[in-house]
Amino acid sequence: MRLSTLGLLAAGGLLLAPAPRALAQAAAQPTARTAQPLTRALAEMRRLYGTEFVFEERLLAGKTTAVQVVRGRSVEELLKAMLYPNGLLFLYVDKNHYTIVARDARAEAAGPGPAVGAVPAQARTLSGQVRDEKGEPLPGATVLVGTSGRVGVATNAQGKFTLEVPANALALKVSSIGYETQDLLITADQFYAITLQSQSTGLGEVQVVSNGYSELPRERATGAFGVVTSEQLQEIPVPNVVQRLEGQVAGVQLNIQSSDNSFLYRLSAVNPRANTTGTNDYSLAVRGQSSLGDAGAQRPLVVLDGLPTELDLRTLNPDDIAQITVLKDAAAASIWGARAANGVLVIQTKKGRFNRAPNLNFSTSFTVAGRPRVNTLPLLNSAQLIDYERELVDQGQLVDPGLPPANPGTAYFPRAISEAQEWLFRAQRGTATVAQRDSALGVLASRGRTGYDQLRQYLLQPAQSQVYNLSLSGGGENNTYFLSGSYAKERTNATGSDGSRLTLTANQEYKLFHWVTLTANAKGTFFAQQQNGLGLSPLATSPSELLPYNQLVDANGQGVDYSYAFYGPKLDQLESRGYQPWRYNYLRQNSLNDNTLRENNYWGALSLSAPLYGGLSGSVTYSMERTFGENPVYYSPDSYYARNLENTATSLSPTTGQLVYGIPLGGILNRGTSGRNNYTLRGQLTLDRNFGGKHQVNAVAGSEIREVNTSATNLTQYGYNDQTQLAQAVNSLVAYTTVTGGSQNIGSVNGVVDRRNRYLSYFANGSYTLLERYTASASLRYDDYNNLGLDSKYRARPFYSGGLAWTLSQEAWLKSAPWLSNLRLRATYGLNGNIPAGAVPYTSISLLPNNPVTNQGYAQINSPANNTLRWETTAVTNLGLDFGLWGGRLSGTVEAYYKRGTDLFVDYPANPTYGYTILSRNAANLNGKGVDLTLSGSPLRTANWEWTLNGVASYNTNQVVDYQVDNTATLLASGTTGPINNRPTDYLLVFRSAGLDANGRTQVYNRNEGVVPYNQPLTSLDDLAYAGRKTPAYTGGLTQTLRYKALSLYVQTVFKLGYVFLPPTFGSLNTSRGIDLNADLDRRWRQPGDEASTSVPGVLGSTGTSWVRYSYADARVQSGDHVRLREVALRYAVPSSLLGFGTAKPFVKSLSLSVAARNLGLLWRKNTLGLDPDFLYVPTLPVLPPAVSYVFSLNASF
């Protein structure tokens, strides 16, 4: 027996009815021109009156009514007119719920009222409450008497029912659409608490997609939509949505570069020039690269509750998210026009539902990560480093700072050197014997990896995070609400860097005057972050880098001071003359600086919508978004930064012998603020109408204006005292004498940046479905943007798309196939756009203060006039196939797409004869293609056991074409360059290594297999070898859930295949910058003959072309392919019997506990070096592979 809730949702997103669990298949055919199927009439009633009906499908099959559903008549009146002629009756459950039954099955009870069946002489009254497995009341569930009964009731809004049953009745049958039907025996009890288990449907079978402007049943959508549900998001217990998106949608390439941090980014502050927030922590692309600009220009557009937002994903509380729809092709995304080329993420937050009892949900999780894995870093140990330094000294690559100055009279400021170099030079100078030197070096060498170990001990810590989340949702007759608050606290792996996030959300909806809907959504996100940890930064190549034999703490537990500004004895001399102490101490850095970041984000939207006529409704939406960021950095007077800056600006007066201070002594306060102030105003008409049961039309049209303001200020105060809060005035233009006798001025102490951009758009999007089988869709958008020049011909541009879909499984000739539950074909084509940031058609100049020669104001040309400036466009063709087999046991989607990007903006080397070495122009085309595959299924499903799988895989590649610039020479010299014709954007071309010459310098083969020495140029791209692509061609993931009763095991693996990388190695020899610590140095060429066994050049070969050719050699290329075990989680949903569901009013409706382990490492890797290709150690921004973290969570609803 099948029952069905008629929960038709009008596709217009403005009729904010609760999202249905499923959509009824209205299969009935109309019998007369004026009549419509009864199911459709009931759907209309639901839409207009918000009523819900429960009925057996077969009862209504084939029945029609001529009654027109219009406002102004009472529900009962309409129902009588529709149902009575059809031999049907309706039972009143409460104001919004009716059960429809056949007349003949019903006793002679009169009129609506508490439902009763055929009441025999001896009857008893039972009551009860029906809930789902989460403890939420189930309204509209049917409770029938007997296992094949015809008499029953539907539950009310609280899931409650009252039913009179014959005394001889043995059982109740409880059912609800989407849930397993349950039979239960009638006992002596009066009250029955009943929990229904939801029917498992494949995870991929999401029914409603949203493009941000409207919601559409998936079977009427032609475009490529990817959906992540809140259930999927819930499985990843990380307090940032970014991590939760990994491996969920085919075609979304997410690269997580954060190791042990989630929402505390390493680059957080708002940058008014480009969106850089989080660029060090993650990159997100939809279907590969569509633009050749910087990372900010390649980000997908984020749409939050229907409105474009500039907020980063970390500002969202992941538990507030109901669904994320990824718009991948033109049909899906082109409604976003000029900003859609990179794909769109449409995020919908949770809402309450009408007529629902309040539901309080509390969840908390605690995450603890393992110790940071410093020992995995490929760095030299003490003995290896000393050996290298010895060679540098022997080769004369390093200058002895201890030698007397060449001109005794002149100022001499030798640079600082390491402890080992000091001993090597002492022996050279004769101030130490060779024996003394060797014994001292022996002591240093014996320290092994002390520096790294101490860095781990004193500067790093296991990361931790805690999250608390509380939400309340529900609704009355005329309003719904969803309120939530969450607090997350995170401690990164750098001691001294931690922070918190508070999010508040209030989503409300009101029905006014029975026909106007007012939606009011507000969110606030507040960050407070301390960024004082040195973390791994001492291992970055710099003059203050930490060497393996350096100690943070000596044997007595005291912090060790190091000279970094100048040679130690020079610092002694300066300090004795009154300079401030000038030594660096790693341990004291944390406590002496105060670098805090506070960011407040506010988001609010008001929307008023009203039905107008015959399925047409109108709405007006206003939203605002504010971000205030504040980043005060206080360097206390004792901090190295302040002492170093002030000492550098201090000179000794030649006349008085007194110290002259160029920068006032004391603390330094640098105060940066940043802000965004954006608004959007949109008017929209929505049509959602079915004509005659055959023709379904969904359309939106409207216009939108949007303004985005970004600002930043920066102020530096010198001589600042944080107690008195007073600073000393400085004249930033007056020159002072530096310690070395040079002349310098403080320079700008404040700066203001303010940018305002405006957008104007008109949009229309519609779909037409015939007979539930054939769908055509089209969209058109016209965008105008203030920055593309003066004339609208440069900036205004239409974007369009069209699509077709055919649901084969609805065809009569396929309907009979019982194993095929769904089969659809889709095809779309359309244009998306992208706005080249900062490009203008006229000569763009910027103003600068104070020309250094004349002190006049002056101007510079940012970019020459470009009267051919055009928007970047990407044409996308998408072909899709959706299928469902065996009632959804296995379902999936295969999509193939082809993208053609034209007029892409690219920086290219210009002929300097034109006055520019780099120009940006619409100069490249980019072809892209790929395949997205989504599969979900549940191979095993029994009452106790269930195994579900959800797999996504995607392939993407691209090729630059019609690119007019020849980058050959740059590439041949540096190993890297911009685009190259007929290569993907992420190509890796490498030199063909021919080993080392007899002097330890790199040789390569040219295209004729001739050996080219290091000082000879290569001439053609054919001299290089194509190593592959630097980003994965194949990405995806597999999530599996194995459930046994209340216990479920979740396993997530993700993979990246089809790409290569060059493992980090040491940099080109540059002794003034600090010494490289990469372990490759230990395999270097040392003496003739070594070239037989190593390809790492010697000291002399570690510069210039020889180094470049070693660094970009084919021999070093490694495959990046790997499979990562991202998460294993065990969840226990405490059974309702243990929670007291048997009682009338259980306090806890549901409770689940889980423990998850994340970042468990790589299951398989192809590279032979044991490297994790996602977390390569780059000396400029050192990063560690993430440590395994353990998450303990509790989730309860009341």
Partner 1 sequence: MHLLRPLALLAPAALLLAGCKDYVDIKTQGTLIPSETANYRLLLNNTGVLERSVSVPDITADDVELADLTQQRALPNYVARAYTWQPAFYDCTETDLDWNVPYAAIFYANTVAAEVPGSNNGTDATKQQLLAEALVHRADAYLVLVNCYAKAYNSSTAAADLGVPLLLTPAVNAALTRQSVQAVYGQIIQDLQAAAPSLPTTVPFNTQPGRAAAYALLARTYLLMGDYGQARQNAEAALALQSTLVDLNAYASGATYPRRISDPEVILSKVANTQFSAAPIVLRLSPSLLSLLGTADLRYSLFTRPATTVATTYTGRIFARELLTGEPRNLGPSVPEMLLIKAECQARQNDGAGALTTLNTLRVRRFRPADYVPLTTANARPPLQLVLDERRRELFCRGFRWFDQKRLNQDPAFAQTQARTWLATTSVVPAGTYTLAPGGAHYLFPIPPIPQRLNPEIVSNP
Residues 588-627 that bind partner 1 (CB under 8 A): 608, 610, 612-613, 618-620
Written as six digits, the tokens of 100 are 């429809």
Bridge partners, 445 (sequence order):
none
Q: Is 682 in the site for partner 1 (CB under 8 A)?
A: yes
Residue with Cβ nearer partner 1 (439 or 1020): 1020
Retrieve residue 505's tokens: 């959300």
- Characterize 363-385 residue by residue with b for buried, 16 or more Cβ atoms within 10 angstroms of its Cβ, and e for exposed: bbbebbbeebbbeebbbbbbbbb
User: Which of 357, 470, 697, 760: binder of partner 1 (CB under 8 A)?
Assistant: 760
By CB under 8 A, name the one of 762, 768, 774, 1198 that touches partner 1: 762
Q: Which stretch binds partner 1 (CB under 8 A): 56-64, 698-706, 819-827, 894-902?
A: 698-706
In terms of CB distance, is 1003 or 1053 closer to partner 1?
Answer: 1003
| Nearest CB to partner 1, comparing residues 911 and 1087 | 911
Q: Helix, strand, or coil here: 278? A: coil
Q: Which is nearer to partner 1, 32 or 853 (CB)?
A: 853
368 or 681: CB nearest partner 1: 681
In the bound state with partner 1, the residue whose beta carbon lies nearer, of 197 and 974, is: 974
**Site residues for partner 1, window 77-96 (CB under 8 A)?**
none
Q: Which lies closer to partner 1 via its Cβ, residue 383 or residue 649?
A: 649
Q: Which residues is 891 bridged to in the sheet? A: 884, 936
Q: How far apart are CA 1063 and CA 1178, in angstroms?
A: 9
Of 613, 630, 812, the residue nearest 48 (C-alpha): 613
Kindly state the smallest distance separating residue 601's Cβ from partner 1, in Å.
23
Find the part of the chain contacting partner 1 (CB under 8 A) among 809-817, 845-853, 952-960, 1138-1146: 845-853
Closer residue to partner 1 in complex, CB, 786/1093: 786
Minimum distance of partner 1 from residue 300's CB (angstroms)? 23
Q: What are phi and psi of 375, to 5 degrees?
A: -65, -10
Cβ-defined contacts of 973-980 (< 8 Å, 24+): 973/1017, 973/1105, 973/1108, 974/1108, 975/1108, 975/1109, 975/1111, 975/1112, 976/1112, 978/292, 978/906, 978/907, 978/908, 978/909, 979/292, 979/906, 979/924, 980/1021
For residue 65, the one-letter residue type is T
Q: How far is the CB of 1194 from partner 1 (least distance, A)?
A: 46
Considering only residues 43 to 62 of the shown chain, the ones binding partner 1 according to CB under 8 A are none
Q: Exactly one of 229, 844, 925, 1068 binds partner 1 (CB under 8 A); which one?
A: 844
Interface with partner 1: number of residues (CB under 8 A) = 81
Encoded one letter per residue, x for contact with partner 1 by CB under 8 A and - for no contact, window 133-172 reads ----------------------------------------
C-alpha to C-alpha distance for 216 and 699, rounded to whole angstroms = 10
653 in contact with partner 1 (CB under 8 A): no
- Strands of 160-166's sheet in order across: 160-166, 123-132, 191-196
Structural tokens at position 480: 């719904």
* Touching partner 1, residues 179-238 (CB under 8 A): none
Nearer residue to partner 1 within complex by CB, 852 or 1089: 852
The pair of three-digit structure tokens given for residue 310, joined into one six-digit string: 């500039």
State which residue, 504 or 1100, has the beta carbon closest to partner 1.
1100
Least Å from the CB of residue 1060 to partner 1: 24
CB of 622 to partner 1, least distance (A): 10
User: If DSSP codes are grouped into helix, strand and coil, which group holds residue 429?
Assistant: helix
Q: Which stretch binds partner 1 (CB under 8 A): 21-29, 486-494, 759-767, 1024-1032?
A: 759-767
Q: Which is nearer to partner 1, 264 or 764 (CB)?
A: 764
SS (H, E, C) 828-865: EEEEEEECCCCCCCCCEEEEECCCCCCCCCEEEEEECC
Query: Residues 893 to 912: which contact partner 1 by CB under 8 A?
Result: 909-912
**DSSP helix/strand/coil, 487:** strand
Binding status of residue 703 toward partner 1 by CB under 8 A: yes
Asked if residue 649 lies in contact with residue 736, where contact means CB atoms within 8 angstroms, the answer is yes
Under rule CB under 8 A, residue 274 binds partner 1:
no
Contact at 8 Å (CB) between 507 and 351?
A: yes
Closer Cβ to partner 1, 72 or 1170, answer by number: 72
Using CB under 8 A as the binding rule, whether residue 784 contacts partner 1 is answered as yes
Question: Quick one: 119 or 840, whose CB is closer to partner 1?
Answer: 840
- Taking the least distance from each CB to partner 1, the nearer of 325 and 684 is 684
Q: Is 865 in the site for partner 1 (CB under 8 A)?
A: yes
| DSSP conformation letters of 380-428 | --HHHHHHHHHHHHHTT-S--TTSPPSSTTS---PPP--HHHHHHHHHH
- Nearest CA-CA partner of 186 in 164, 157, 207: 164
Looking at 411, 660, 753, 918, which residue binds partner 1 (CB under 8 A)?
753
Cα distance between residue 1116 and residue 578, in whole Å: 52
- Report the nearest approach of partner 1 to the CB of residue 1112 (Å): 14
For residue 54, how many other CB atoms are within 10 A of its CB? 27
CA angle, 215 then 235 then 1176, to 5°: 105
| Of the candidate residues 182, 925, 970, 1103, the single one contacting partner 1 (CB under 8 A) | 970
Q: Which of 168, 190, 436, 862 binds partner 1 (CB under 8 A)?
A: 862
Does residue 734 bind partner 1 (CB under 8 A)?
no
Using CB under 8 A, pick the residue from 685, 931, 1049, 1051 that binds partner 1. Answer: 685
CB 1070 within 8 A of CB 1178: no
Q: What is the dihedral of CA 1064, 1068, 1070, 1074, to 10 degrees?
A: 10
Binding to partner 1 in span 948-967, by CB under 8 A: 966
Q: Looking up tokens 């040789």, which residue turns up?
A: 1003
Amino acid at 606: L
Binding string, residues 374-413; x marks residues near partner 1 by CB under 8 A: --------------------------------xx--x---
Q: Which is nearer to partner 1, 16 or 379 (CB)?
A: 16
Q: Which of 446, 740, 792, 1143 binds partner 1 (CB under 8 A)?
A: 792
DSSP for 1148-1193, please give it. Answer: -SEEEEEEEEE---EEEE--TT---TTS---TTS---PPPPEEEEE
Kindly state whether residue 1072 participates in binding partner 1, applying the rule CB under 8 A: no
From the number of C-beta atoms within 10 Å of its C-beta (0-12, 13-18, 19+), residue 641 rates as middle
Q: Which is nearer to partner 1, 837 or 1134 (CB)?
A: 837
**Residue among 52, 235, 704, 1076 that touches partner 1 (CB under 8 A):** 704
Residue from 187, 188, 430, 513 that binds partner 1 (CB under 8 A)? 513
Coil, helix or strand at residue 792:
helix
In the complex with partner 1, the residue whose CB is nearer, 613 or 1147, is 613
Q: Does 842 bind partner 1 (CB under 8 A)?
A: yes
Distance CA 157, CA 140 (A): 7
Site stretch for partner 1 (CB under 8 A), options 345-353, 969-977, 1039-1047, 1135-1143: 969-977
Nearer to partner 1, 147 or 1020 (CB): 1020
Beta strands of 636-666 (E only): which ranges?
650-652, 659-661
955 contacts 930 by C-beta, under 8 angstroms: yes
CB of 426 to partner 1, least distance (A): 21
Cβ(894)–Cβ(954) below 8 Å = no
Q: Is 969 a binder of partner 1 (CB under 8 A)? A: yes
Stretch that binds partner 1, among 519-527, 719-727, 748-756, 949-957 (CB under 8 A): 748-756
Question: Per CB under 8 A, does 851 bind partner 1?
Answer: yes
**Within 1007-1036, which residues bind partner 1 (CB under 8 A)?**
1015, 1017
